[in-house]
Structure 1
Amino acid sequence: MTNEQTSDSFFDIYHHEDDLYLDNKWIKNELVEDIDMEHAIIERCTFERVQFLNNDFSNIELVDCVFKNCDLSNTQLSKGSLHRNQFINCKLVGTDFSDAFLKNIEFKGSNLFLSNFNHTRLDTVNFSENKMDQVEMGECKLKKVTFNECGLNQANFFKTSLKNIDLSNCEFEKIMLDFDSISGLKVNDYQALYFAQAFLNLKLK
């Protein structure tokens, strides 16, 4: 006999009136693919090594969930409401968070290449040790957002205020933003030189 816990299934999700609910589940080693499930409500769940591929979860309510070593590539989470969630060592390539609201969220050690946060409100969100090249964060509202040791090459922050945002220990060769966006941005010496050349047209001799 073994004491190994049996995991649940994402497909335990159930209908209640007009919504879909999934609550207090531990789900691992499952494939969830090509599903259109608008306005699902998922609370207090842990997902481990779950593949969410090409799903439409627009308008999702995601609360108190943990994703570990999961793949959410090209998943639609646009217009969602995400509270107190963690994404640890996840693949989020092309994941769409646009027009969503994120509060008390942690992204750590994850690949967010080409992910889309355009027009999103982020409040108390921590990005740590992530690959974020070519991430889209245009016209966002940022409050208490931190970036720690992230790769941000060709990331787009156009029309997003970066006041009091610290990028000094992040890496990028080129980053897209406008003159107003950089006001109050905290950078290191090398990055300051990059912005001086990009926005002030200074030429070094």
Structure 2
Amino acid sequence: MSGNKVKIEPPKIPESLTEATVSDNEWADGQEISDVIFQESGVHNQSAYKLYLDRAVFRNVAFRGTSLRKAELTDVRFENCDLSNIDLTELVLHRAVFQNCKLLGMDLTGSTLRNVRFTQCSADYAVLRFANAKAVVFDNCSLAKADMSNMTLSQFFLKQSNIDGAQFSQTKLAGIDLSSCEFNGIGATLEDLRRSIISPGQASVFAANFGLIVKPGE
């Protein structure tokens, strides 16, 4: 099934949102924030455990030195934001869009992702170890050297994305379409790749990686 055909529920965000800045909302453990828009600002050195964020838009916001462990984010949109190296360990994320964002080294270890779309994002070295992802699309993204090991995938789509050097160890890729992706090699065993979908050109890449010799037809 194509990532274009899967039903991804979009964020349910009201048209009227309250302008907010981090100084207005000094984030704290267990805090609840809703119906807000953050624009042209920075989120620096924030640390909050089990933050609850509902119906929010982040536009041109840069995160620095921020840790939101076990946060729950529902109905959120990130546009042109920089979340590089943010700690989102064990995040619960439902109905979210990341558009043209920098996600380099973002840590989503043990996260739960539902109805999430990443479009034109740079997520090299991102960490998604042990994440549970259902109805998730990466469209025209870069995930080079990302750690996607031990993930549980359902309705998970990688479309025209760079996954060169990404680690998929212990992640079952059955039914996952890699045919439009760019890579010279990925970290995966034959068992991980069983019943995944690849292009003819990629078959030769895997053959080389597994030490196989492809004999030209006579």
TM-score when scaled to structure 1? 0.92
Residue aligning to 2:66: 55
SS, match of residue 31 in structure 2: strand
Rounded to whole Å, the distance in 2 between the matches of 1:34 and 1:66 is 21
SS, match of residue 63 in structure 2: strand
Q: Which has the higher contact order (CA 8 A, sep 6+)?
A: 2
Rounded to whole Å, the distance in 2 between the matches of 1:62 and 1:11 is 20
Which residue, 76, 81, 98 being the options, matches 2:87?
76
Checking the alignment, whether the CA contact within 8 Å between 2:185 and 2:206 is kept in structure 1 is: no
Rounded to whole Å, the distance in 1 between the matches of 2:131 and 2:46 is 23
Checking the alignment, whether the CA contact within 8 Å between 1:13 and 1:20 is kept in structure 2 is: no
Q: Tell me the amino acid that sits aligned with residue 22 of structure 2.
A: F
Checking the alignment, whether the CA contact within 8 Å between 2:30 and 2:48 is kept in structure 1 is: no
Cα distance per residue 1:66-96 (max 9 Å; x no partner) = 0000000110001110000100000000100
Checking the alignment, whether the CA contact within 8 Å between 2:102 and 2:121 is kept in structure 1 is: yes
Q: Tell me the amino acid that sits aligned with residue 82 of structure 2.
A: D
Which residue, 7, 20, 42 being the options, matches 2:19?
7
| Aligned-CA RMSD value | 1.8
Unaligned runs of 5+ in 1: none
* Cα distance, 1:14 vs structure 2: 7.0
Cα distance per residue 1:125-164 (max 9 Å; x no partner) = 0000001101110000000000111011101101100000
Rounded to whole Å, the distance in 2 between the matches of 1:12 and 1:59 is 22
1:120-135 → structure 2 map (5 Å cutoff): 120-135=131-146
TM-score when scaled to structure 2? 0.87
- Runs of 4+, deviation exceeding 4 Å: none
Query: Is 2:103 the partner of 1:95?
Result: no
The total of aligned residue pairs comes to: 200
Unaligned runs of 5+ in 2: 1-16
